[in-house]
Amino acid sequence: MRQTIRLFAILSAVFLFTALIGCMGRGPRVPIRFYSFPEGFHTTATTEKATSIRLGIGSFESSGAIGKFILFRVSPVEVKYNRYERWVEQPNEIITRAFLQALDSSGFFSEVTLAEDIAFHQSTHLLRGYVDRFENDRSVSPPCAVLSVRLELRDIASGRRVWESTVSYRHPIQGRETADFVRAMEEAIRRVLEKSLSDMKNGLIKSK
């Protein structure tokens, strides 16, 4: 009986010691934070007469590193991420939605739809894009929110490319918190949208 009690005491001590070591090694729990742009990216309607162009927007693509984790650049050749800070949407989805909202609210096109929508079959032009950079660049001073997007517009009937461009913008980050970076990125997105719309209009005029 005494041996059984002694064995039970030893096993209990080993269990408590193991649990204690596990708790010490685990450290404090870090909460995961998610960030988004809830206000959207609607633009002021143009005073120009709407064109007859019915625009379809394909889902934007991005490199494999650009995803749910917020990226920060520490050197010209190295990018890192913090797994506890993430986007609510994937960046390529954010930019797709931003272009859809901005181009639709601009009033320049007679219709703007996603390429997956049924209405796309009536579109006259298709816009595709690729997100090259969507990051917090800490390798420069001051740190900047950096967005770079490659764009291509094609006439669907002929397959002819009528316009293409790479539009980039760097906006300084005011503050050290991730929320400060998100606000800077929101402004970078707006500037890229404005420049893209302006350049696209000029490209369409020249292609006529």
Q: What are the tens digits of pLDDT across the range 8-61?
A: 444 454 444 454 444 554 556 779 999 999 888 987 766 566 788 999 999 999
Please name the helix (run of DSSP H) or strand (run of DSSP E) that holds residue 69, with its range, or none: strand 69-75
Structural domain includes residue 159? yes
Phi, psi of 133 (to 5 degrees): -140, 140
Query: Which residue segment(s) compose the domain that 105 sits in?
Result: 33-207
pLDDT exceeds 80 at position 170:
yes
**How many domains is the chain built from?**
1
Kindly report whether the peptide bond that precedes residue 142 is cis, defined as omega within 30 degrees of 0: yes
Please name the helix (run of DSSP H) or strand (run of DSSP E) that holds residue 133, with its range, or none: strand 125-137
Structural domain includes residue 4? no
Tokens of 17: 């010691």
Report the CATH number that the domain containing residue 97 is assigned in CATH: 3.40.50.10610
Mean pLDDT value of segment 59-69 = 94
Residues 36 and 141: their CA atoms lie apart, in Å, by 25
Structural domain includes residue 25? no
Pairing relationship of beta strands 78-87 and 33-35 according to DSSP bridges: parallel
Q: What is the pLDDT of residue 11?
A: 41
Which among 118, 99, 124 has a CA at the least distance from the CA of 42? 99
**Distances in whole angstroms, Cα of residue 175 to Cα of each of 18, 32, 96, 183:** 43, 20, 28, 10
Kindly report whether the peptide bond that precedes residue 28 is cis, defined as omega within 30 degrees of 0: no
Residues 145 and 165: their CA atoms lie apart, in Å, by 20
Structural domain includes residue 94? yes
pLDDT band at 134 (very low <50, low <70, confident <90, very high): very high
Q: What is the pLDDT of residue 9?
A: 47
Mean pLDDT value of segment 98-102 = 96
Structural domain includes residue 8? no
Residues in the chain: 208
Structural domain includes residue 81? yes
Structural domain includes residue 190? yes
**In the block, residue with structure tokens 């006439």:** 155
- Other beta carbons less than 10 A from residue 109's beta carbon: 23
Mean pLDDT value of segment 117-137 = 91
Q: What is the pLDDT of residue 91?
A: 97
Structural domain includes residue 175? yes
